[in-house]
Amino acid sequence: MHHYVRKGSQVLRKRGYRLTPQRHMILSVIQDAGEHLQVDEIARRVQAHNPNVSLSTIYRTLELLQKLGLIRTAHLPGDQPYYEAVSEDAHHHHLVCRHCHQTIHLDMDLLGSLHEQLQQAYGFHDVTLDLLASGCCPSCQQHFAQESQEHLPH
């Protein structure tokens, strides 16, 4: 059993829940993905192992796992949220291209002690940061530059 799934099992039991086969599969899919997944991709991967797991079970399980702090939701470009495993670090930052939606995980040290400054300035406790920055990636910049050159009069 993966470390993440084992940790999930412990958290579930500690909070009075069981590690059902469906929960185990969903935790495993998220762990093994190593990337952000939307619900439809999670469902496709889970149902490849067990076609009897319903979409409503997947939604309920994701809601529970998020409530227990085992997964996080990232609201990246698109209609649906993306899900990923929660790492040991409570802070999570993304840089997303507005055009191709390439997503880069940013260095956790990038914002320094902003969470501590927010705690001190506003009296909040256990502040976590989930930053989403957007821009135009180098590949899209190059594409748009070439496109504009092609449309210039000769």
Binding residue per annotation — 137? yes
Pair (36, 77) in one structural domain: yes
Distances in Å between the alpha carbon of 91 and those of 17, 49, 83, 110? 26, 32, 15, 10
* Strands 103-105 and 82-85, sheet pairing: unpaired
Query: Domain range spanning residue 48?
Result: 1-87
Task: Report how far residue 66's alpha carbon sits from residue 7's, in angstroms, rounded to the nearest whole number.
Answer: 14
Pair (25, 66) in one structural domain: yes
Is pTM, for the whole model, over 0.85? no
Binding residue per annotation — 136? no
Pair (72, 1) in one structural domain: yes
User: Could you read off the pLDDT of 84-137 as tens digits, one per residue?
Assistant: 887 665 567 778 888 888 888 777 777 778 878 888 999 988 777 777 788 899
Cβ atoms of 82 and 74 within 8 Å: the answer is: yes
Instruction: Count each helix (H run) and each strand (E run) in the chain, helices first.
Output: 6, 6
Binding residue per annotation — 140? yes
Binding residue per annotation — 75? no
- 54, 87, 120 — which closes off a domain? 87
Residues 67-85: what's their mean pLDDT?
80
Binding residue per annotation — 100? yes
